[in-house]
Amino acid sequence: MLHHRVFRAVPRSFNCHLGRRSQLIRPQCSRTLLNAMTIGSPQFRAFSLEAMHPVLLAPMVFTGLLLGLWAYKCAIMVIFQNRIIYMPSIPPFSRSETLETYRQFHHGITWGSETLKTPDNHRLTVGIAHRPPLKDIRIKHNLNILFLQGNASSLPPRTPTISRILRDLPPHLDIHFYALSYRGFWTSTGRASPKGIAIDTKAFLSTYMKRSSQPIDDSRNLETLLLWGQSIGSGILLSGLSSLHSLPSSSKDPHAMILETPFPSIQKALTSLYPQRWLPYRYLGPFVQRGGWNVMALSNRQWRLDCGKGGGVLVLEAGNDEVLGDGMGEMVEGVMRERLGEMGMREKVERVVVKGAGHSEAAEKGRGRVVEWVSRVVREREKDSEDNTSGLHHQ
């Protein structure tokens, strides 16, 4: 008991500065602190559930559980965001589907595929469709379309809609269609991620835009390059274009773009779809990798579009979009008008709302509007080419 009384007589502030003498007292100090933390001690009971009023106990417990589950869900959505955003196997067995399965719905369009190797040694599958001129006349116009799909499923289920659109385009066109399957989609190797998809897109655009700019024979005196992005593919498309500013000038600039059911950013889409402030989705936008293919940010980057007298941007919006909600297409239209306005082509942006169409039905139910818009681009480019040719003859 003597050493205990000595400890009590020493000031607490002095215990840590006793030097060697404190070595005799420190064990007793430790035992005293442990006694204070003993479950039965008054100090412990002051911070235990026993000290809480019974009426407050249940609300506190359930509130803590709800907050814990809310934080857990946020953490899971951030950690596994690539699995949530990119869904190559939705619906089930999408990656095992083949072009042959949908052959009867191709309406005479020839479909095939080839492999594209990326700089990081992944092998991507590129779907290829060809529709030769339907009229027995001299081919005077090549139309090359590069397509970037959305975040789910694979190319084969999309081929019937694309085939109908290609079939209905002007019959004198020689049409080549190229569709990229990102890594992890369809039969492409690897796993989908923002960084990987950016590499895939750059490799795809640089390869096939160069292919479309190869010299053509005398009977094919005009060529149009059209880029088509679907849903999240719209942001991926603009990101890919902004990464191509370092390409040599010999590569052809796109003349027109179709942005099908686009959205300004994932954060804007989540806020529109889930306006309730207590839901966690609206707060996760800043944690999305690479900004969620933010069209609003990507529109300010350097990318080229050679509209001329024929070309432009078509924003295809679903009138009954169950995924994005209302107003997304209008936001993208405003962003693109501002961007093309810097190039002096503000009027080249057009927005079409397909009434009654869901998120994945815009191209199918609005294919007449798509065909009409592409046909107008083709006519304007042909007229512009004829005017230039006649001007040269007069000189």
Q: Which of 131-135, 207-211, 271-275, 384-388 has the lowest mean pLDDT?
A: 384-388
Domains of the chain: 1-51 (no CATH), 94-394 (3.40.50.1820)
Helix, strand or coil, per DSSP, at residue 178: strand
Query: For residue 329, with 0-12 CB atoms within 10 Å meaning exposed, 13-18 middle and 19 or more buried, which class applies?
Result: buried
Give the E-state strand segments of the chain in sequence order: 110-117, 123-131, 141-148, 173-180, 223-230, 256-260, 312-318, 349-354
Q: Where are the alpha helices (DSSP H) in 213-302?
A: 232-242, 266-273, 295-298
DSSP code of residue 152: B
Q: Across residues 58-86, what is the average pLDDT?
A: 88
* Cβ atoms < 10 Å from Cβ of 302: 10
Phi, psi of 141 (to 5 degrees): -150, 120
Question: Which is it for the CA torsion 374, 305, 310, 248, positive or negative?
Answer: negative
Out of 32-46, 175-189, 219-233, pick the least confident: 32-46
Q: Is the confidence at residue 162, as pLDDT, over 70?
A: yes
Please report which confidence band the pLDDT of residue 128 belongs to, taking 50, 70 and 90 as the band edges. Answer: very high
Residue 11 has pLDDT above 90, yes or no: no
Asked whether residue 256 carries a pLDDT value surpassing 80, the answer given is: yes
pLDDT of residue 7: 41
Residues 136-162 have a mean pLDDT of 89
Least confident of 295-299, 322-326, 363-367: 295-299
DSSP one-letter code for 272: H
- According to the model, what pLDDT value does residue 40 have? 52
pLDDT surpasses 90 at 197: yes
Interatomic CA distance for residues 47 and 89, integer angstroms: 51
Q: From CA 159, how far away is CA 290, in angstroms rounded?
A: 30
User: Given a cut of 60, is residue 296 above it in pLDDT?
Assistant: yes
- Residue 105 or residue 30, greater confidence: 105
pLDDT higher than threshold 80 for residue 286:
no
φ, ψ at 147 (rounded to 5°)? -120, 130
pLDDT digits (tens, 9 = 90+) for 231-247: 999 999 988 888 876 55
Distances (CA, A) of 221 to 40, 216, 218, 255, 349: 93, 7, 6, 16, 27
* Separation of alpha carbons 324 and 346, rounded Å: 25
- Confidence (pLDDT) at 17: 47
Distance in Å from the first CA to the final CA of the chain: 118
Q: What is the mean pLDDT of the chain?
A: 81
For 316-357, how does the pLDDT look when each residue is reduced to its tens digit (9 = 90+)? 999 999 888 788 999 999 988 888 877 778 888 999 999 999
pLDDT of residue 1: 46
Contact at 8 Å (CB) between 143 and 174?
yes
The rounded percent of the chain whose pLDDT value lies above 90 is 43
3-state secondary structure of 103: helix
What tens digit of pLDDT does each residue of 12-52 get?
444 444 444 444 445 555 555 445 455 455 554 555 666 67
- The whole-number pLDDT of residue 136 equals 64
At residue 392 the predicted structure's pLDDT band, cuts being 50, 70 and 90, is very low
Q: What's the pLDDT band for 215 if we cut at 50, 70, 90?
A: low
- The conformation of residue 318, written as its DSSP 8-state character, comes to E
